[in-house]
Amino acid sequence: MIELRGIEKHFGGRPVLEDVGFRVHGGRMTGFIGGNGAGKTTTMRIILGVLAADAGTVEIDGTPIDAGARRRFGYMPEERGLYPKMPLTEQLVYLARLHGLDAARARRSTDDLVDRLGLGERRDELVEKLSLGNQQRAQIAAALVHQPEMLVLDEPFSGLDPMAVEVVLGVLRDYAHAGSPVLFSSHQLDIVERLCDDVIIIAQGRIRAAGDREKLRESHSGLRYELTGTSDTGWLRGVPGIRVVEFDGDFAVFDADDGAAAQAVLRRAVELGDVSGFTRRRPSLAEIFKEVVQ
């Protein structure tokens, strides 16, 4: 588990991060979302030790992080780049060795990853000769080639074609299944919604929401319900404590003043006919994001 506590960072007197704290659990995919300039990249750089925090701590399983622990991270910086004039596999082997793998192991890991990411035919090409999509894959390979135990990836999906997104997703899931903490930032809320077990929302340098995705949706749900049945739902209009939001024959969406009023509606609906659906509506991540960021 990676845990941040009370992280503060100022750039030239301007606060960029204020009291940032959250946890990234092992075995779970954690999405880190926020607008441009919210502090995502700065936070990730601090975790990796690329930037020093003005205050606060980063701990791995309760131990303050040090250079040795940071070497066990797979890191993908926001702004991408590899040595343009170096062949792909040679570059990956080099990065693996800088992280402490011996020559044979670095070579093996590189070969595995290059094949897995569909770069097998490009293995000896200079990085600058690769297509943009392949450069993105190479960048992901660079983050993973030293067989890290924790992943911190800044916008890993930006610029990837849909096929590459699936490949990368597969790799990240494997890491999570193997028990690694996986933290990644994204602008694409639908991807985060689809993939993440946990979500952290940051805005203006402060954490606005953090935790299990479903619990987050639960806690941000209003008392809005969906009812689908066999009978016409027009009767809902007259029920006290209920406001109909949407109505279409046997389907209706309504807000209830409290849970009891909603349950009363369900009982009445069952009396009037068959009910095929009665659900409390949960907000999408995008809706929650809009709500907490404001």
Partner 1 sequence: MSTSAATASGVRAPSLAEAAWLVARREVRTRLRSKAFLISTGILVLAAFAGIVVGGILSANPSRTKVAVTSDVPAAVAQQLKASDSFAVRTVEGRADADRLVRSGAVDAAVARASGPLGFRVIAKTDVPEGLVGQLSVTPPVSILEKSGQDALLRYFVALGFGLVFFVTATTFGSAIAQSVVEEKQTRIVEILVAAIPARALLAGKVVGNSLLAFAQIAVLAAISVIGLTITGQGRILATLGGPIVWFAVFFVFGFVLLASMFAATGALVSRTEDIASTTTPVTMLVMAPYLLVVFGNANPLLVGIMSYVPFGAPVGMPLRLYLGTAQWWEPLVALVLLIATTAGMVALGARIYERGLLRMGSRVPWREALRA
Q: Which residues bind partner 1 (CB under 8 A)?
A: 45, 48-51, 67-68, 70-73, 75, 77, 79-86, 94-95, 97-102, 105, 109, 112, 116, 142-143, 146-149, 171, 174-175, 177-180
**Which of residues 180 and 233 has its CB atom nearest to partner 1 in the complex?**
180
Residue 58 near residue 50 (C-beta atoms within 8 A): no
Residue type, position 110, single letter: T
Nearest distance from C-beta of residue 170 to partner 1, angstroms: 8
Nearest distance from C-beta of residue 50 to partner 1, angstroms: 5
Residue 18 near residue 206 (C-beta atoms within 8 A): yes
Residue 181 near residue 151 (C-beta atoms within 8 A): yes
Nearest distance from C-beta of residue 255 to partner 1, angstroms: 45
**Which of residues 59 and 291 has its CB atom nearest to partner 1 in the complex?**
59
Residue 58 near residue 3 (C-beta atoms within 8 A): yes
Nearest distance from C-beta of residue 109 to partner 1, angstroms: 7
Contacts of 290 (CB under 8 A, 6+ apart): none
Contacts of 110 (CB under 8 A, 6+ apart): 89, 92, 93, 96, 141, 145
What is the DSSP code (8-state) at residue 87?
B
Nearest distance from C-beta of residue 270 to partner 1, angstroms: 47
CA 66 to chain centre: 25
Distance CA 183, CA 172 (A): 10
Nearest distance from C-beta of residue 211 to partner 1, angstroms: 24
275-280 and 224-229 as β-strands: parallel, antiparallel, unpaired?
antiparallel
**Which of residues 113 and 199 has its CB atom nearest to partner 1 in the complex?**
113
Distance CA 225, CA 82 (A): 51
Q: Which helix (H) or strand (E) holds 46?
A: helix 40-48
**Which of residues 127 and 252 has its CB atom nearest to partner 1 in the complex?**
127
Can you tell me whether residue 255 is helix, strand or coil? strand
**Which of residues 148 and 156 has its CB atom nearest to partner 1 in the complex?**
148
**Which of residues 32 and 289 has its CB atom nearest to partner 1 in the complex?**
32
